[in-house]
Structure 1
Amino acid sequence: MDGSNRERPAFVRLAAHPLRWRLLTTLATGDHRVRELVALVGEPQNLVSYHLRLLRDGGLVTATRSSFDGRDSYYHLDLDRCADALAATGSALHPALRPGPRPEPATPSGSRISVLFVCTGNSARSPVAEALLRHRTGDRVHATSAGTRPQPHLHPDTARVLRDTFGIDIAGQRPRAVDTMRQHRFDHVITLCDKAREALPEFEHEPRRAHWSVPEPGTDHFHRTAADIDTRIRHLLPVLDTTHHEPTEA
């Protein structure tokens, strides 16, 4: 699904307005009457009352009659409700932001999810992603990689960084051509360089496609590149659990 078509979560719609955000942050420190809020935020009473009503309708703010003057009310921010709304907002943005333990990636049928990583030479970025996904998921995910114009050999720093930083041995692995993979069934195809994205062929089984724009690592930047890819892999794991087989472009 195109993310631009998703409706904004209710908390975002409510809190994004500047005045409502000021009211929320003011009420976060304690309960206030309307006239106090008017003075604190420096806005007319009718405007403050209007936005307080929207916050009440959204369930973030409640009002109780004053026990001193029954004609007056105190407004209270429901922090637990805000916490739940913030958590739901994070989940709506990305599955990795869902609170609590992350589920193990698995397809609805229980078979292994298959992921193909592609860069131009299949000598650095995509084999790093393949190795790290396999390392983090074991046999639960089938990970492989290929190149649109594969090099004869892996870059020597690829094997070195994976071995020294993550304890992963890929000695003996050889770059593969993405054209040899086109008839294989993949659930996800992820490109890691901009050239590969533009040159990526169509796949027979229409996998879900995504692009990670990772710069080609220089000799002194392999550790930084591997760390960037590892972060992306960690964020990919909950996505693998929540996505299905319909094709999309991320």
Structure 2
Amino acid sequence: MTSKTPDTVAPLRFVIAAGHPVRWQLLSELARGDLAVHELSGLLGQPQNLVSYHLGKLRKAELVAARRSSADGRDTYYSLDLARCGDLLSGTGAALHPGLRLAPPAPAASVTGRVLFLCTGNSSRSQLAEALLRDRTAGTVQAFSAGSRPKPIHPHAVTVMAARGIDLAGARPKHLDEFTGQRFDLVITLCDRVKEVCPEFPGHPRPVHWSIPDPAADPGEPPAFEHVADELAQRIGFLLHTLPHRLEKPS
């Protein structure tokens, strides 16, 4: 019997971790957005202790990360590392045969739609997301942002975007009430607190949640803003693959 080489160990671990039906369901739900255990339990129709057990397996495989909710410290939000999953899926095919290495599809060049990003202050996270999505799609996607308690745009948010060639100096904070009754193809909450008070908008079943910490709350602020911008850029890159499919679904 031949021994396993290092190149095959990671793909095998991925197959073992993702291969269980409950864990595959968890991965599928988390691919849509960040969720707490009780939300995953409801979506899967499984008891919370079983869901927690399988989340532990996925965390051990480094496919899923956990972050304590900033709204309720008793809750933990789980997020899927899509970039790592992509690498492991590609490696799994290549481990069987070089011709089976998967390549991610290129995002549609002319994705359209209306997307609203929400956080509490509309001073950094949602403004960064709005600017990044608009820039990434050259404006073909109409991106908006708002907050439940708006406050002035954080200067570090302006600086981070300027370094990426995006001018955020003219952005203004907006209250989410400005968008009441408007139809969006997708509403994304970026803050655990605003998730709890997010109003209903026509045109979609439920908001998507990205549990992203407030960079202004980090003592070493400037690097925190860079980190948040990087995470948002990565999430938006994956969003562009799914947005056309979301638009095809009936409201």
TM-score normalised to the size of structure 2?
0.56
The 3 A distance-change label for structure 1 pair 175 and 78 is closer
Counterpart Cα distance in 1 of 2:96 and 2:173: 56
Tell me the equivalent position of 2:239.
236
Letter in 1 for 2:243: L
**Conserved? CA contact 2:185–2:246, under 8 Å:** no
The 3 A distance-change label for structure 1 pair 227 and 193 is same
CA RMSD of aligned residues (A): 2.7
Tell me the equivalent position of 1:136.
136
Q: Point out where structure 1 has 5 or more consecutive residues left out of the alignment.
A: 1-11, 18-76, 88-97, 107-111
Letter in 2 for 1:159: V
**Conserved? CA contact 1:188–1:207, under 8 Å:** no
Is 1:115 aligned with 2:120?
no
**Conserved? CA contact 2:184–2:202, under 8 Å:** no
Tell me the equivalent position of 1:79.
97
Which of 212, 215, 219 matches 1:214? 212
**Which one has the largest radius of gyration?**
1
**Conserved? CA contact 2:115–2:186, under 8 Å:** yes
Is 1:170 aligned with 2:168?
yes
Q: Counterparts of 1:42-53 in structure 2 under 5 Å?
A: none
Give the count of matched residue pairs: 157
Counterpart Cα distance in 1 of 2:113 and 2:168: 21
Q: Point out where structure 2 has 5 or more consecutive residues left out of the alignment.
A: 1-14, 21-94
Moved over 6 A (4+): none
Tell me the equivalent position of 1:161.
160
Is 1:198 aligned with 2:208?
no
Counterpart Cα distance in 2 of 1:100 and 1:237: 11
Identity of matched residues, %: 43
Counterpart Cα distance in 2 of 1:207 and 1:122: 23
Show CA shifts across 1:101-144 (max 9, x none).
Answer: 332353xxxxx300000000000000000000001001210001
